[in-house]
Amino acid sequence: MSAVTLSTHQHLSALRGAALLNLPDWSGVGRVNLDGLGLGALPEREAAPDLTVFSVYDNALTDVPDWVWTRRGLRTLNLSANQFRELPEALGDLRELRMLDLGHNELNALPDVFGGLGQLAFLYLSHNRLTGLPESLRHLSALTYLNVTDNALTRLPDWLGDLSALTELRLYGNPLEALPDSLGALGSLRELHVMNAQLTRLPDSLGGCGALEVLDLQGNALTELPDMLGQLFRLTTLNLRFNALTHVPDVLENLTALHTLDLRANELTTLPEGLTHLPALRKLDLRWNRIEQLPDAFDTLIARGCQVYL
């Protein structure tokens, strides 16, 4: 490609929104961005064969032109906040994808074609109508971020633990009653968000998530915590607000990196004194429990600057 052609290609790829929509010829466009235009359909213009970005976030689309699925060099595909009800199997041909956003659509299911998307690192599936996940997702060995929030998932597949590169997993807003034991195989996981589900217990295997730093379980129906939770030595934030806990296990005193512990709105009547020895604790929220008075040992926690809300 000549310097003049390259410069023109780069200029066209910088166009976006209405300016791009008004361009009669897209053959030199390597990045398509038509976000937030209220489009119900896309013009019959094909972008460059080496297209790398296709983003049509926040429109009213139910499909995209067939040529989109032939652009095998796509790295970013953003179809979020539209009205897609299904996707073609040709999605599986986009083997260079790094980021795929299908959130805020009307998808009941996904095509089982993810096995070849070995480069995919970020997958957004939030706010759809999904009741299950295709098994081919288990082969996404490069996936670091998975968001399936606000769907209709009642259970998660046992192969979830195969996603060994995951660092952030967002599951909240699903009617989940349990988490799979395979969760403990996610040794790289740093954040786990499962708020507003229907969990009544946590798997003992959770202790295997040794890299976990943030664990948010607000708004479930937990009555107890597994002792294996005490093995999460890197945990900095533990949110257990709005559950049904009647006691807190002594092993939480092992969480020496913990700086925020939220126990608000449970059924607690007392706390283990070992919590006062947590060296990094800066916030302890105990409101809306049945604790009338804290043990004297907690005076030292307050004296060193920890904010305790009772």
Tokens of 193: 């968000």
Instruction: State the CATH number of the domain containing residue 233.
Output: 3.80.10.10
pLDDT at residue 68 tops 60:
yes
Exposed, middle or buried, 113 (CB in 10 Å: 0-12/13-18/19+)? middle
Tell me if residue 282 falls in helix, strand or coil.
Answer: coil
The CA distance from 83 to 93, in Å, is: 22
Mean pLDDT of the chain: 95
User: What range does the domain containing 222 cover?
Assistant: 3-309
Which amino acid belongs to residue 232?
L
User: What are 218-255's pLDDT values in tens digits?
Assistant: 999 999 999 999 999 999 999 999 999 999 999 999 99
Q: Return the beta strands (E) in 27-133 as ranges.
A: 31-33, 53-55, 76-78, 99-101, 122-124
Q: What is the pLDDT of residue 9?
A: 54
The CA distance from 31 to 48, in Å, is: 8
CA 265 to chain centre: 25
Q: What is the pLDDT of residue 2?
A: 46
Give which of 27, 75, 42, 37 is closest to 58, Cα–Cα: 37
Give which of 149, 67, 114 is closest to 54, Cα–Cα: 67
User: What are 150-163's pLDDT values in tens digits?
Assistant: 999 999 999 999 99
pLDDT at residue 13 tops 80:
no
Give which of 189, 192, 197, 245 is closest to 219, Cα–Cα: 197
Number of domains in the chain: 1
The CA distance from 284 to 307, in Å, is: 6
Report CA-CA distances (Å) from 217 to 42, 174, 262: 41, 12, 10
Report CA-CA distances (Å) from 65 to 43, 45, 87, 114, 176: 9, 9, 12, 20, 36
